[in-house]
Amino acid sequence: MIRKFSILNRRRFTSGLLLGAGALWAPGVLAEQLTQTPRQNEGPFYPDHLPLDTDNDLLVINDAINPAVGVVSHLSGRILDQNGAPVRNAEVKIWQVDSKGSYLHSQSSNRANRDKNFQGFGRFLTSSKGEYYFRTIKPVAYDSRTPHIHFAVETKAKPRFTTQLYIKGEPENERDNVLRGIREPKLRDAVIKEFTPISASRTGELSATFDIVLGYTPEA
C-alpha cells in the first residue's frame, strides 16, 4: 500500500536535498552574479479543472491506494529575488503530462487514456528560506515537445511568473522549439537541470534541484 508522503518524511528528505542548494545562495549576493530565470509562456494546458487534491505530492490523490505510473522524482529548490534573497510565502505551482503524455485538461491529447492516479498539478507555499518541494514523476515527451514541467510562481505584490524545467541530456531538447526560443545559452542552461538517481533508493527514484531567480523584488 502506498501512503501519502508524510510531512515529517518530506521535511527530512527536503532538508537534506536543499542543503547543497542553500549554500549556493545567500542574501547580499551581487545581482550580477545571478542568472535570472527566463520567463516562458504558460502554454495552453494549464488545468481547466483542478484535481480533488492539489498538494505537493502528485503521485497519490488524497488517500488512494494506487500510485501514479512513472519514475518517482523529488523536485526541490528555492525562489529568489533579483538580489539573491529568498522569497517567502510565494505560491509555487507545477503541472505536467502523465506517463502517457496527457495533461489534466479537457483538450489534451490522449486524454481518454489518462492516468487517473496522477494528480497532474500541485502547489506549495515557500518557507522562510524560499524553499519548495514536490514529489512527482520524471516528465515524458509528448507530441512535438521535449519532456518538461511547467512552473508558475505567484506573490502578493507581483503577477504570475511562468517558466519551464527541462532535463539535462535529453536528446529531444535540441528539437524543441519552445526551449530553443531561449536564444542565450546561459539563460537556456538555467532551465535545464539534471535528474539524478538517489543512491539510497531501491526503486530508481530521482532528484532534481531547480532554483528560480525572479527578475524583481516581490516586496518592491
**Domain tally, the chain:** 1
Q: Is residue 60 part of a domain?
A: yes
Q: Give me the residues of the chain with pLDDT under 50, please.
A: 1-15, 18-31, 220
Q: Residue 1 falls within a domain, yes or no?
A: no
96: in domain: yes
Considering the domain boundaries, does residue 148 fall inside one? Answer: yes
The x, y and z cell numbers of residue 45, run together, are 494546458
The residues pairing with 161 across neighbouring beta strands, listed in sequence order, are: 153
**40 belongs to a structural domain:** yes
User: Is residue 219 situated within a structural domain?
Assistant: no
Question: Is residue 11 a part of any domain in this protein?
Answer: yes
Residues 6+ apart with CB under 8 A from 16: none
Render pLDDT for 82-112 as a digit per residue (tens, 0 to 9). Answer: 899 999 999 999 999 999 999 999 999 888 9
Classify residue 151: in a domain, yes or no: yes
| Mean pLDDT value across the chain | 87
CATH number at residue 180: 2.60.130.10
Which range of residues forms the domain containing residue 17? 7-213
Cα–Cα dist 98/180, whole Å:
23
